Amino acid sequence: MVRGVTAVLTIAGSDSSGGAGIQADLKTFSAFQCYGTSVVTALTAQNTTGVQAIHGVPPDFVVQQIQSVLDDIDIRGIKTGMLFDSANTKAVASTLKEHFESNGRVPLVCDPVCVSTSGHVLLQPEAISTMVDELFPLAQLITPNKQEAKLLLKARSLRSDITSLHDMLVAVQNLLTLGPEAVLLKGGHVNVSIDDIKSVTAPDGASVEVNYDFFLGENMEVLQTAKASVAEDLVVDVLCQRDVKTIMLYPRPRLQSRSTHGTGCTLSAALACALGNGIPLTEAAAQATSFTHLGIETAAPIGKGFGPLNHLHSASRFVLQPRTPGNPYPLTQKLIRSTARLWKEYVQHDFVVQLGTGTLKRSSFIHFIKQDYHYLKYYARAYALLASKSHDFASILAASKIVLHISSESAMHTSFCAQWGITAEELETTPESPATTAYGAFLIDTGLQGDTTKLLMTLAACLLGYGEVGLWLKREAKKSNSWVTWEGNPYLKWMEGYSGEDYQNAVKLGLETIEARAAADPPSPSRYDEWMIVWEKCVRLERGFWDMAMDLS
Ligand SMILES: Cc1ncc(COP(=O)(O)O)c(N)n1
C-alpha cells in the first residue's frame, strides 16, 4: 500500500526567477516529501539582481484559489509569504479564519514578507497593521528577519533596536505581544559569537536554552579545532513561545555566500512541512534552520546577483563534500548530521549524564561494565577480522594494534569490578544480555559479509561515540558548578580513560582512516547508502546499550 502523504499549502507571490516565493516553497515541500499546493497573491517579474515589476492578484481571486484547495485537499500545514497589499492580506486572513472555525486549526506559519533583500517593497506599508491585526492571531508562528521585526515593532511603537543577541531576546518577547503563538526571529543580520551565547540572559525571568544540534560532534577535539574560527561568527535564530518560559537559540556558523535569495521563504516553507508532519515546534525549528543552512552551503551560483539556495540538497545526500582544511571530516560530519537526533540520544544519554554527576546507580554501572566487557570481546574480534581481511602490512598492523588496545581497555573493566568485589570469574561467567549479543553479533556478521571499509563504518559509532562522551563529560564538568567536580566521582577512572590522550589518539586515527578511505575511493550512492545503514544501526545499538544498563534488562 502507498503511504499517505502530508499536504501543505503556500499562499505567496510568484518569483519568475524561481528562487523565492511560491517556487522556493514548492521545491522545499518536495524536499520534505510533502505534497505542495499553492495560492498566488501576486506575480513578480524578478531575478537574482532585483524585482523589476509586480502585478497583484485581485483579492476575490485569491479567496477563490484558497477555497479550491481547502475544499478538496486535507491540508496539514500552511505558510504565508508575500501578500502584496492590505486587501489581499484581509482576504487571506478572513478565509483562513473561517476555515479554521469550521474545520479546526492547522499549523499556520506566517513569514511577514515586507521588503525583498534587494530593497523592493513586497507588502504595501499600510498592510502591515492588517497583517498584525488579522493574520497574526491565527498564526502558530511568525518568522520575521531583523528588518521585518523592526517594521512590525515600530508599527506598534515598541522598542525596535536589534543589534545584539540580547536585543533579539527583547524583540521576540515584544513581537509575541502582537498576537501569534510563537515567534522565530531570524538572525542572519546580527553578528553573534559563542561568548555572546554563553553570557546572554533573557529578560523578564525567562530562561535560555541553546540547541546545539548543528554542532553535534563538536565535542570531538579534532572537529573542534577545525571549527575554532567559526565560533566568532555565528548566525542565531531565536524562538519564543507563548506560555513557555524558555527561549530557544539555534546557532550555526555564518556562511559567506551570495546564494541567499529566498532564504526566508525556504525556512518558513520547511517549518510548515515539519509542523504539518506533527513535529513539535522546537524540533521543527531545528530541522528547518538546518535544512536552510545546508541549502545555502551546497548552492551552485546562478544568475548575476544573489542566487537561489539548493533546495534539493537532501536528494544529493550521497555526494560527499571534498576534504578541505576547513572541513577535514566531511564523511563523519555527514554521518553524524544525518542521524542527529539518534546520535544525541546516544552520546548525551541519561546514563552518561548521571555518570558525569556521579549520581548513576552503582548497580547500573556494574551491569554496564560487565556487559561492556563481553561486548569488547566481539569488538576485538571484529578488529581481528579486519586485520585478516586486510591486504597490506600497514593495515594489518593498524587493526592488530587496536586489538591490543582493546585488551588493555578490558583490564579497566576487570579492575573496576575488583574494586567492588566482583571476581574475574564472576565477570567472565555473567550471561550476555540480548543487547550485547545483538550488537556483537551484528559487528561480526557485517565483518564477515562486507568489505573492510564497511566494517570500519560499523566500528566507528562506538569508537567515535565514546570519544565524544569522554570529552563532553570533561567539558561539562569544567564549565558547570552544578556538576560534581571529578574528584570524588566514583566513575572518574572510566571518564578519564575515554577523555584521555590515549583514547583520543585512537579516535583521531579512526577518523583519519575512515575519511582517507572515502576520499581515496569515493562511494557510489548504493555503497554510501550501505555505510549509512550500518552507521545508523550501530548508533541505535549503542543507545540500546545504555538503555539496557539503566533498565538492567
Ligand atoms: C515573491 C517573493 N517572495 C518573497 C521574496 C523575499 O525573498 P528575499 O528576501 O530573498 O528577496 C521575494 N523576493 N519574492
Mean pLDDT value across the chain: 90
What average pLDDT does range 163-173 have in this prediction? 96
What spacing in Å lies between the alpha carbon of 22 and ligand 1's midpoint?
10
C-alpha cell, 108: 499556520
Ranges 13-27, 226-240, 384-398, 411-425: which has the least confidence:
226-240
State residue 481's pLDDT score: 56
117 lines ligand 1 (CB under 6 A): yes
pLDDT score recorded for residue 548 = 93
**What pLDDT was estimated at residue 323?**
81
pLDDT of 2 reads 64
Distance CA 445, CA 317 (A): 27
The answer to whether the beta carbons of residues 299 and 309 sit under 8 Å apart is yes
Query: Which tens digits make up the pLDDT trace of 314-354?
Result: 766 556 777 877 778 888 988 888 888 899 899 999 999 99
Report the DSSP pairing between strands 7-15 and 141-142: unpaired
CB-ligand 1 contact for 148 (6 Å cutoff) = no
Instruction: Give the span between the Cα atoms of 221 and 508, in whole angstroms.
Output: 9
Query: Residue 192 — very low, low, confident or very high, per pLDDT cuts 50/70/90?
Result: very high
- Is any atom of ligand 1 closer than 6 Å to the C-beta of 20? yes
Nearest CA to ligand 1 atom 4: 21
Find the 118 Cα to ligand 1 centroid distance in Å. 9
pLDDT 10s digits, 276-323 = 999 999 999 999 998 999 899 889 999 999 999 999 887 665 567 778
Please report, for residues 385, 440, 540, the alpha-carbon distance to residue 446 in angstroms, rounded to integers and kept in the order given: 10, 10, 16
Q: Report the nearest-CA residue for atom 2 of ligand 1.
A: 21
How far apart are the CA of 334 and the centre of ligand 1, in A?
30
Q: Which domains does the chain have, with CATH numbers?
A: 7-215+230-298 (3.40.1190.20), 330-550 (1.20.910.10)
Q: Is-contact 523 318, C-beta < 8 A? A: yes
CA of 119 to the centre of ligand 1 (A): 10
- pLDDT surpassing 60 at residue 177: yes
**Does ligand 1 come within 6 angstroms of the Cβ of 21?**
yes
109 to 185, 433, 437: CA distances (angstroms): 13, 47, 47
pLDDT for the residue numbered 222? 43
Read off the pLDDT of each residue in 432-451 and give the average, rounded to a whole number. 94
Q: Can you tell me the mean pLDDT for 500-520?
A: 89
Q: Confidence band (pLDDT; 50, 70, 90) for 223?
A: very low
Note the pLDDT of residue 522: 83
Cβ–ligand 1 contact at 113 (below 6 Å): yes
* Binding site membership of 265 for ligand 1 (Cβ less than 6 Å): yes
pLDDT for 42 equals 98
pLDDT value at residue 278: 96
Q: Is the pLDDT of residue 239 over 60?
A: yes
- For residues 52 and 395, what is the distance between their CA atoms, to the nearest angstrom? 62
pLDDT, residue 489, reads 82
pLDDT at 479: 63
**Active-site residue list:** 186, 260, 262-265
pLDDT at 230: 62
State how far the Cα of 189 lies from the Cα of 254, in Å rounded to an integer: 10
pLDDT at residue 226 greater than cutoff 50: no
d(CA 315, CA 128) in angstroms, rounded, equals 37
pLDDT score at 527: 86
